[in-house]
Structure 1
Amino acid sequence: MDKLIVTSLLKQMLTQNNQSVYEISTKKRVMLVFLRHFGCFFCRETLDELSKFFEELSKNNTQLIFVHMSENQVAEQYFVKYGLNDIQHVSDKECYYYNMFKLGKATTKQLLNLQSFIRGFDSAFIKGRGGALPNEKTGDEYQMPGIFIIDNGLITNQFIHKTPSDKPDYNNLIKSQF
């Protein structure tokens, strides 16, 4: 993605505290996590895992910021549930930023495959994270997630999911660059 476009987008992206993602990225490296809908097993898994990885992010001078498709009040209920109180986040109900960061919509094949079924069952029932049907409050069920590492307004690394069940290596993401 063109540097000027990225800079412009990051300046537009305002957290619930009215800070731009660009501004934050000039002070600390940012892990910008585009979530799936809050009813998704894998969204809940991401919240759970990143809540446990939060200390490691801090040690690496990295600020975690979520992008979600819900009202801020709805999102904050989920963040609190996973111990992510006061986490910075951006509401993107129209999926404008998802689209600008080239995060597409899932196909039926991406959603309904054996790997996703097995991982979803494990996350929801074995690990007890649960799940729910998507609705207008939780986000678009077809929207794919992604993660971008931003340093001084530049994307230095990324993980683009091929299926909703893809599992990123968070450590590798923050420690390596393109």
Structure 2
Amino acid sequence: EVGSVPEVGDRAPRSSDGRIAFPSAKLVLLVFLRHCGCPFAEKTFRSLTKFSTKHPEIQCIAVSQGSPAETDKWIAETGGEWNVEVIPDERRELFAQWGLGLTSTWHAMNPWVWYQTYRLGKGEGIWGSSGASLGSAVSGPPREAGTMWQMSGAFAVEANGSVAWSHVARAASDVPDFAEALKTL
């Protein structure tokens, strides 16, 4: 069952298994990724890794849809240097607790998403597993886990456990702006 998306000022949902607990010792930036191999998941994770190295005072957490093994493989192939805790959520229970359910075909594959996929590939070399279908010789980490229908999102949470910022993707290509989150913390 998918809960409601927490709004600014709400108490952050507590995970029933203790993987994510509030209050915490630090401010938290919690990011729910699209499926492994999605170019926008890769872009989001790369943005989060850069943010994490610039802001060690903030605990950065990425939640993956993959199993631990699939997530580890995708993260290694995505590369980079970071200070991000990665939590595999194969059954997408954490996604549901934070109000992130399944999306529509329009959300995942509208013309704007395809255009943004092409722009991301051409501009930044991030093609994801769609690179081959777009005529690119470059291909990213394969889509090994998760579903393209899963909604992504990001939340900034104060140390006391209250939500300070919320970003639920309006489309598959919607990558959160972590600078906006920083303004609220």
The answer as to 2:103 corresponding to 1:103 is no
Q: TM-score, normalised by structure 2?
A: 0.77
State whether structure 2 residue 132 is matched by structure 1 residue 116.
Answer: no
Q: Distance in 1 between matches of 2:108 and 2:157?
A: 28
Secondary structure at 2:87's aligned position in 1?
Answer: strand
Deviation at 1:13, TM superposition (A): 4.2
User: Quick one: distance in 1 between partners of 2:111 and 2:121?
Assistant: 15
Does the residue aligned with 1:132 lie in a helix, a strand or coil? helix
The two structures, once aligned, show a CA RMSD in angstroms of 2.3
- Which of 53, 58, 65 in structure 2 is aligned with 1:62? 58
Amino acid at match of 2:52: F
In the alignment, the residues of structure 2 paired with residue 100 and residue 28 of structure 1 have an alpha-carbon distance, to the nearest angstrom, of 21
- Provide the rounded CA distance (Å) in 1 between the counterparts of 2:94 and 2:123: 33
Offset at residue 68 of structure 1 (A):
0.8
Residue type of the partner of 1:112? M
Contact 2:52 2:82 (C-alpha < 8 Å) held by counterparts? no
Contact preservation (8 Å) 2:104, 2:149: yes
The answer as to whether partners of 1:65 and 1:90 remain within 8 angstroms in 2 is yes
Could you list the runs of 5+ residues in structure 1 that have no partner in the other structure?
A: 15-20
Equivalence for 1:17: none
- Maintained 8 Å contact 1:79/1:87: no
**Residue equivalent to 1:18:** none
Match of 1:40 among 38, 41, 51: 38
| Distance (whole Å) between structure 2 residues aligned to residue 167 and residue 70 of structure 1 | 19
**From 16, 28, 42, the counterpart of 1:30:** 28
C-alpha distance in 1 between matches for 2:96 and 2:43: 23
- Higher mean alpha-carbon deviation, 146-155 vs 33-42, is at 146-155
**1:12 matched to 2:22:** no
The structure where helix makes up a greater share of residues is 1
Moved over 3 A (4+): 84-87
Which among 137, 149, 168 is matched to residue 142 of structure 1? 149
**Cα pair distance change 1:85/1:54, threshold 3 Å:** closer
With the length of structure 1 as denominator, give the TM-score of the two structures: 0.80
Count of matched residue positions in the alignment of Structure 1 and Structure 2: 164
| Deviates most, 140-149 or 103-112 | 103-112
